[in-house]
Amino acid sequence: MRHLVPTITLAIRPLTSAHTYRRWVHLVIGGALLTPYAMAGLVLAGLLTQRGSTLAQPGPAAWLLGPALTLTAVAATARIPGVAAAQHQLARALLRGPLTDLPDTPPAPGPRATLWACLHGLIGMAVCLATMTVLTEAALLAIAPLAVDPYTVSQGPLTILGHDTLTRAQRLLGPLLGLTLLLALIATIALTGHLMAALAPRLLGPSPARLLADAQARARTLAERNRLARELHDSLGHALSVVTLQAATAARLIDTDPDFARRALTHIADQARTATADLDHALGILREDTPAPTAPPPDLTHLPHLADTTRHTGTDLRLDTTGDPTTVPALLSRETYRIAQQAITNALTHAPGRPLALTLAITPGHLHLTAANPLPPRRPLGRRRTGGRGITGMRERAHLLGGTLTAAPAPADHPTHWTLDLTLTWKDTETP
């Protein structure tokens, strides 16, 4: 008995589901749309095959040519701009199913939309005929016990009870047979609608090429958003860190060393202007109606200025550069500058007041950046080792450039310094 209940529930679910009756409407609409095409095709086939004779009884040739003309007209209609989009929206609204899980992108007029229009019309016509036939027969069978002329009642299209005079048992059996027919019709409609809903994504959904293009577009958008997030995090984070330290130093020395305080305030204004320019650059990329920024972002040639700005916070920063920064490709130069900027920001944030050594070595086709600062006293190493968005962003930059970046306490056995190492390589275009 326990195994019977789920089976019964599964059997009656299509009868109570709203999907069944929405899909029924969708199929009936398909049959209704096909009806004028079928009538016109049959008339035209009769004219072509019977040469003006009576069309009351089309010949075999007309019955063969009529469906061909009908489907040809349906296929031509499906090619009209906007028809495929209407089919798509109608299927999404009434069939539901897997089609609603796909992007709401109507298909372009083509073979898939044409095939769907033909199937929708043919299957819909069959459903319309089955609906009219079964509903009529079910109604006749339902009133069999009350009918005055049982012979007339039994002349439904299926003539289940035959043509003879109905017995009392047949009269009482009529409503049960009518209900059985009705339930069989609903179950058939539910199965047909389910199959159409499963087929809809293949014929009305985006093509594989369109899905791939949409996925690539989303990936590009996500990559651009992540890049802008890294830009804002690194540039604004550095500016705010420097401003915070300089403002604190100026407040502390404004009475004892007003000249230093004034210089600190001047550098705060410079950092605010730089941060505003970086923000405008990022917002200009985000907004499509804003002209593209013309000022180039900073690169490795701006590294000395970055070091000078950091020194004005009171940080002992030593910058050692070997090689020519102008030989580094533009993209690598800009990204390396941002990594160096974020390394300085991390040092100012997590080890304020500690000296910082920044070393940049450039050789043909190779770049190596190192940032090292003593670890602050009594700071839990575990928290620093995990890193935050800054280290994550630096690693993402290095990965996108095909380089490697490590950031961890060193040496590993008795750490005394926090060290960051970046290595980038590229194909040197200079001829030997």
Backbone angles phi, psi at 272, to 5 degrees: -65, -40
How far apart are the C-alpha atoms of 48 and 57, rounded to whole Å? 14
Structure tokens at 9: 């529930």
In the three-class reduction of DSSP (H, G, I as helix; E, B as strand; rest coil), residue 419 is classed as strand
Pick from 344, 346, 350: which is nearest to 316 by CA? 344
- Listed in sequence order, the residues at least 6 apart from 18 whose beta carbon sits closer than 8 Å to its beta carbon are none
In the three-class reduction of DSSP (H, G, I as helix; E, B as strand; rest coil), residue 406 is classed as strand
- Listed in sequence order, the residues at least 6 apart from 358 whose beta carbon sits closer than 8 Å to its beta carbon are 303, 307, 317, 318, 319, 320, 340, 343, 344, 369, 370, 371
How far apart are the C-alpha atoms of 278 and 115, rounded to whole Å? 54
Q: What is the per-residue pLDDT for 367?
A: 93
Dihedral sign for Cα 143, 145, 146, 151, please.
positive
**C-beta separation of 72 from 121 below 8 A:** no
The burial of 291, by beta-carbon neighbours within 10 Å (0-12 exposed, 13-18 middle, 19 or more buried), is given as exposed
How far apart are the C-alpha atoms of 293 and 285, rounded to whole Å? 8
How far apart are the C-alpha atoms of 230 and 200, rounded to whole Å? 42
Distances (CA, A) of 406 to 42, 66, 286, 399: 78, 75, 31, 11
**C-beta separation of 359 from 369 below 8 A:** yes
Q: What is the per-residue pLDDT for 215?
A: 64
Token pair 């401003």 in the structure block, residue: 243
Please tell me the pTM assigned to this model.
Answer: 0.54
How far apart are the C-alpha atoms of 388 and 237, rounded to whole Å? 12
Number of helices (H) and strands (E) in the chain: give both, helices first: 13, 5
Structure tokens at 219: 């990936």
DSSP-assigned letter for residue 75: H
The CATH class for the domain spanning 215-425 reads: alpha beta
Name the stretches of the chain with pLDDT < 70: 1-11, 51-58, 147-166, 208-217, 219-221, 223-224, 227-228, 230-235, 237-238, 245, 271, 277-295, 378-389, 412-414, 428-432
**Taking the domains of the chain in order of start, what are their residue ranges?**
4-206, 215-425
Q: Which strand ranges, in their side-by-side order, compose the sheet holding 366-374?
A: 317-322, 356-363, 366-374, 417-425, 404-410
> What's the pLDDT tens digit per position in 392-402?
888 888 888 88
Structure tokens at 229: 């997030």
Residue 408 one-letter amino acid: A
Q: How many CB atoms lie within 10 A of CB 414?
A: 7
Pick from 280, 260, 268, 278: which is nearest to 240 by CA? 268
- Listed in sequence order, the residues at least 6 apart from 227 whose beta carbon sits closer than 8 Å to its beta carbon are none
How far apart are the C-alpha atoms of 80 and 110, rounded to whole Å? 10
Dihedral sign for Cα 167, 173, 179, 184, please.
negative
Pick from 275, 216, 280: which is nearest to 242 by CA? 275
Alpha-carbon radius of gyration of the chain: 39
Q: What is the per-residue pLDDT for 238?
A: 67
Share in percent of the chain as helix, strand, coil (round to 5): 65, 10, 25
**C-beta separation of 27 from 192 below 8 A:** yes
Q: What is the per-residue pLDDT for 382?
A: 44
Residue 135 one-letter amino acid: L
DSSP-assigned letter for residue 327: G
Residue 154 one-letter amino acid: S
Dihedral sign for Cα 210, 215, 220, 222, please.
positive
